[in-house]
Amino acid sequence: MQHRALAVVIAAALALGGCDKDMSSQNKDKTWHAAQKPPNGLTWPLTPPDGMVARDKPEPPPGLSAALLQRGRERYDIACAPCHARTGEGSGIIVQRGFPAPPPFSDKRIVDEPTSHYVDVIANGYGIMYAFPERVGPGDRWAIAAYIRVLQRARSGTTADVPAAQQAALK
């Protein structure tokens, strides 16, 4: 029995002795290929496999269209509205359940940011906002950013912005 207890103590000491370094200190390459050259003279493909998004090439902004804004609204309602609310005021259902409220999109500081900043925030997060790179693809990030601009414009709009032919319907 004593030998068994001693064996358990030694095994535990050896197991814990291997835990002195965390994974952040290990050698690694943060791109899609391995850090070492492949064996036997093989080479890595020059382009990433299908379905992978290149890390270093930013997605160019698409042309503004009604279809892009519709896609942006659809993706916004799924990925962003739980926190930011459907109106962009920062009072979504998650906030109502006790999470900190994000600032409204109508804040001058946020309106003054370039649209590419919104794309970057969706991909990488900002402050306490989680990053969404796996959940929101690059094209959808631009669509959401365009829709955020629509929300901002709607918030600051006046009846003078409405075409004269449609102003009568507002009264």
DSSP string, 30-71: -SSS-SSPPSTT----SSPPTTPPPSSSPPPPPPP-HHHHHH
For residue 24, give the DSSP letter.
G
Q: Which residue has the tokens 């365009």?
A: 146
Measured from the Cβ of residue 78, the count of other Cβ atoms closer than 10 Å reads 13
- From first to last of the 171 residues of the chain, give the pLDDT tens digit: 677 888 887 877 776 666 656 666 666 555 545 455 666 666 655 566 677 666 656 778 899 999 999 999 999 999 999 999 999 999 999 999 999 999 999 999 999 999 999 999 999 999 989 899 889 998 899 999 999 999 998 887 788 888 888 888 876
- How high is the pLDDT of residue 20? 58
Using the CB atoms, write b or e for 19-49: b if 16+ within 10 Å.
eeeeeeeeeeeeeeeeeeeeeeeeeeeeeee
Rounded to whole angstroms, the Cα distance separating 36 from 59 reads 28
Query: In this structure, are residues 118 and 35 in contact, taking their beta carbons and an 8 Å threshold?
Result: no
Q: What is the pTM of this model?
A: 0.64
- How high is the pLDDT of residue 17? 65
- How high is the pLDDT of residue 160? 80
Torsion of CA 107, 111, 117, 118, to 10 degrees: 70
| The architecture CATH gives domain 66-157 | Orthogonal Bundle (1.10)
Residue in 62, 49, 47 with CA at minimum distance from that of residue 138: 62
| Both structure tokens of 110 | 């946020």
